Amino acid sequence: MYLFRLFLIFFSFTFSFAQQDYKLRNDVFENKLKDYRKLMLSDPNKGILLNGKLLVEAKKIKNVDAELLLYSHQCWYNMYKVNTQQLLKSAHDLEIRSESLGKKRFQAIANTYILYAYAHNQLEDEAINAFNKVMYLLKDENSHDIKIIETKNNAYTYLTNLYLHTNRSKKAIEVLKEAKVNLNFVEDKSRKNDFLYRNYSHLGAAYLHQNLDSSYYYVSQSIALKSSNFPENDDVSILNYSLLGDIENKRHNYSNAIQHYKLVEKFIPTNYDLMNLAELYRGFVISYKGLNEQDSVLIYQTRLKDLELKIVQDKNKSLHKILEKTRVVKQTNESYKVVLIVVCFLLFSILLIIVFFFFRDKSKVNSLSNQESGNNIDLENQYVFLIEKFKEDSKEFNDDFNKSFPNFSDRLKSINQTIVESEIEFCRYLKLNFSTKDIAKYKNLSPKTVQNKKYRIRKKLNIPDSEDIYFFFNKI
């Protein structure tokens, strides 16, 4: 009995010590997390280096909320760096982990980042699906919870951006009005003003092409609501002063427009979104043309031209290709599932044949790839080089293209022997991922003419209507 009592005392002491130790470790971790958050705001590139270490520590002490928060910060960082592929990967990681832990809000947060990636690349169907998933995940959550309201508001904002970038201001206004209804649940006035600060700014953008007075009103309302907690150059301030410049340009007050644009130019971070930066440079060009200051016009036209080249280059790595490949894989998997249910034993034999031909074809593809990779210029540099030749309207474009892709013409002729050289040249533009707008611009054609050429090429090469034409040429 004496030994048993000693054991109880020792066990109680050990358990109490373990609890104290666990609490101490959590307190130390929370202090690290506070410092890390400050670092992420002041210097994201340094902050993200700590993210991985803190993530390991959060898992070790089983701090689930901190773990998911750190996953979400990885998403935010990739969005901040405008790295679409990494953003999608980190968002899917967050979604899978939060789903396994039953955390619906973080699942919804993951889908807001997925929504942002799709909206940023103007993939409307995928963006709307992600938006609907966010709303579905949060439909049973507390509508007065500020974190739930914030997650919904981010989803509304990213969907609005999709409609603004595709010049559908009416749809954007509809979404923003719905978002404003969501903000009625915010009880704290200062927090509500913070949300309205962003909402009014986007309303200003939506009304820009409909009613300048309304646009100016909402931008002014947004500026008036800005809290001192926000940095001087936050993204809403950049949008507001860009809009003021656009409004002044439309009113032909070019000097005032330049003052606003100069402020934006001072504010913008080094990794600012290329599409928005291009819009800023176009605004400068319009203003300086209005003032007949040709030297300044030339400066910003040159910057705009260099930026447009970079945007075209980025299209060659666009999300559209990734999504098309993903769709093909999903369709194949779904077909296999159906066949498995209907004829299991027969499928096994078919799969053996498919595997055989798959690896045989794959070896052929690898062989061809190895031949093409023997060029002196790597694939990315080939695209950059050929894009420049195209934009210069160089007579050497076709010869240089054939050097980079020596089998391209033969592969087209193997599909249809009647294809002529002018059609092959047009196919080269599609191989380089030039949009209808780009081809029309640099070849002095109307967009309708380019669309008709695309249609004829699609028919001549038997490209199914369900297949993206750029994905088809990416495989050639």
Q: Check: CB of residue 64 under 8 Å from CB of residue 29.
A: no
d(CA 350, CA 348) in angstroms, rounded, equals 5
| Residues in Cβ contact with 385 at an 8 Å cutoff, skipping those fewer than 6 apart | 377, 400, 404
pLDDT bracket for residue 98 (50, 70, 90): very high
What local confidence, expressed as pLDDT, does residue 316 receive?
Answer: 52
pLDDT at position 336: 53
C-alpha 278/C-alpha 304 separation (Å) is: 6
344-382 pLDDT, tens digit each: 667 776 776 775 555 554 444 444 444 444 444 455 677
| Least confident interval from 9-18, 141-150, 277-286 | 9-18
Are the CB atoms for 118 and 79 separated by under 8 Å?
Answer: no
Q: Is the pTM of this model over 0.75?
A: no
Confidence bin at 114 (pLDDT 50/70/90): very high
pLDDT of residue 277: 84
Reported CATH class of domain 12-141: mainly alpha
Asked if pLDDT for residue 322 goes beyond 60, the answer is no
Distances from the Cα of 356 to the Cαs of 176, 330, 351, 364, in angstroms?
A: 54, 21, 8, 13
Boundaries of every domain in the chain? 12-141, 327-361, 375-475
8-20 per-position pLDDT tens digit: 454 444 444 434 4
Over range 438-442, report the average pLDDT. 89
DSSP 74-135: HHHHHHHTT-HHHHHHHHHHHHHHHHHTT-HHHHHHHHHHHHHHHHHTT-HHHHHHHHHHHH
DSSP code at position 184: G
Average pLDDT over residues 41-65: 88
Q: Which pairs from 105-110 meet CB under 8 Å and 24+ separation?
A: 105/137, 105/138, 105/141, 105/147, 105/148, 105/151, 106/68, 106/71, 106/72, 107/137, 108/133, 108/134, 108/137, 108/138, 108/151, 108/155, 109/72, 109/75, 109/151, 109/154, 110/72, 110/75
255-270: pLDDT as tens digits: 999 999 998 888 887 6
Instruction: Count other C-beta atoms under 10 Å from residue 152's C-beta.
Output: 23
More confident residue, 373 or 44: 44
Separation CA 111–CA 134 (nearest Å): 6
Q: Give the distance, in angstroms, between the CA of residue 368 and the centroid of all CA atoms in the same chain.
A: 32
Split at pLDDT 50, 70, 90, the class of 2 is low
User: What's the token pair of residue 64?
Assistant: 């689930």
Categorize the per-residue pLDDT at 320 as very low, low, confident or very high, splitting at 50, 70 and 90: low
- Residue 372 to residue 370: CA distance in whole angstroms: 5
Among 275-279, 376-380, 421-425, whose mean pLDDT is lowest? 376-380
Q: pLDDT, tens digit, for every residue of 158-216? A: 999 889 888 888 999 999 988 888 888 888 888 888 889 989 999 999 998 889 999 99
Phi/psi of residue 340, nearest 5 degrees:
-60, -40
**pLDDT grade, residue 449 (50/70/90)?**
very high
Per-residue pLDDT of 218-236, as tens digits, reads: 999 999 998 888 887 788 9
Q: Write out the two tokens for 11.
A: 């066990």
Per-residue pLDDT band at 460 (split at 50, 70, 90): very high
pLDDT at 464 over 60: yes
Cα-based angle 164, 166, 171 (whole degrees, multiple of 5): 55
**Among 49-53, 129-133, 328-332, 460-464, where is mean pLDDT lowest?**
328-332
